[in-house]
Chains A and B, each alone.
Chain A
């Protein structure tokens, strides 16, 4: 039965990706990409990766679809059909695929216990020692936040940088000299995220849903030690709640609720919280991000450290997603303001 589900989902996955490749309307391609992400999330559940499935569903099917749609609203949704295609890309990808397929013949059987991945000492430690050493039932969380805390710090910084970079790119106005006017440049499409004032159903449903989305975000944030979840997923879910609010009630209302400069501050604050935990543990005489020292009891120290850095991660991810959303949704306003001056 499991094999049947697996095969069925994977066939759907391939059909979905082929659909993405062959449709010319980019809106359709984006929606199909969301569907592909959702199928991928189901496959991850089948492969025991519940935390990953959670993230993929929230990010791939949720946030990234919103981002693509935001971009399409600004750049137009039709791909120009092309007549003759050169055969080189097809040959190149077939070659790469052929080499990889040949290499997979040497890979161990899926699910076998004696592969280098499963036999490594690191795995032994993560799976069998971590419940005593860290005291957190969800091994993914203990590896993410404690054993590989430094890595995760780096990743949070990447997200922070991307958030800032998107704002820098999209809030800057393009100053074009008169003589440099590019021919055939259509006047900028007016897309304003002002919500839909007359649609009763989305308004009522959104009002009912948003508190629960935010509550669920908090649950995922603080329950991440015991079940699937954690700062990354919680941040994305939290941001999705606010983005839904903005889509239904308008960007201006969201900006009143959470001003852009406040988002910028908490974007940095999250990284600061994370790094701060590391500095505190250094001041107390241990290594950077060694949580054992944070409390008299090492296990309690680990719990405290993981809790605080997960909050840091959640805050940064929420703020970065909101920054990115503000960048895309506010772009047409920004341009309009410039033209008015």
Chain B
């Protein structure tokens, strides 16, 4: 029972940590890091679904009955990782501009400044 669902539980724990980081930390970079963790958790879930017991990497091998793990989740996650880093870069670029405009990257302080301006 334990090993049968082990990966799924790790996925859930990782996802919870990521979500908690995004919600509880006020520092914008910490929030981006939390998003990355959340994303990694989803990657783990997808790859786990493609795994076959006793299978091997989906690269054609000599021999008749070789069992391959499912290549489709691999394709989806491979592109997701690269797209993920591109979008992270975009978020970080926005953080740099926020720092230049507000002088801080703490969400609490930014919200307070916005309130004061009103």
Interface residues of A (CB under 8 A from B): 3, 6-7, 10, 13-14, 17-18, 20-21, 26, 29-30, 33, 36-37, 40, 43-44, 47-52, 55-56, 59-60, 63-64, 67-68, 70-72, 74-76, 79-80, 82, 85-86, 88-90, 92-94, 96-97, 100-101, 104-105, 107, 109-113, 115, 117-118, 122-123, 126-127, 131, 137-140, 143-144, 148, 151-152, 155, 158-159, 162-163, 165-166, 169-170, 174, 176, 182-186, 188, 226-228, 230, 232, 235-236, 317, 320, 324, 327-328, 331, 335
Contact = CB atoms under 8 A, between A and B. Distances in A.
A6 B12 CA distance: 16
B53 A112 contact: yes
A-B CB proximity, top 10 nearest: A111-B53, A185-B103, A162-B86, A89-B23, A97-B16, A48-B69, A137-B60, A104-B8, A89-B24, A139-B71
Contacts of B40: 36-37, 40, 60
A71 B95 contact: yes
A123 to B, nearest CB: 5
B101 to A, nearest CB: 7
B14 to A, nearest CB: 6
A110 B6 contact: yes
A52 B96 contact: no
B77 to A, nearest CB: 5
Contacts of B16: 93-94, 96-97
B57 A48 contact: yes
B20 A47 contact: no
B29 A144 contact: no
Interface centre among A63, A72, A85, A143 (most CB of B within 10 A): A143
Contacts of A68: 29, 33, 92
Range of interface residues on B (Cβ < 8 Å): 35 or more
B85 A93 contact: no
Nearest to A109: B4
7 contacts: A13-B10, A37-B40, A71-B96, A96-B19, A131-B60, A162-B86, A162-B90
A140 B23 contact: no
Contact of A166 (B52, B82, B90): B90
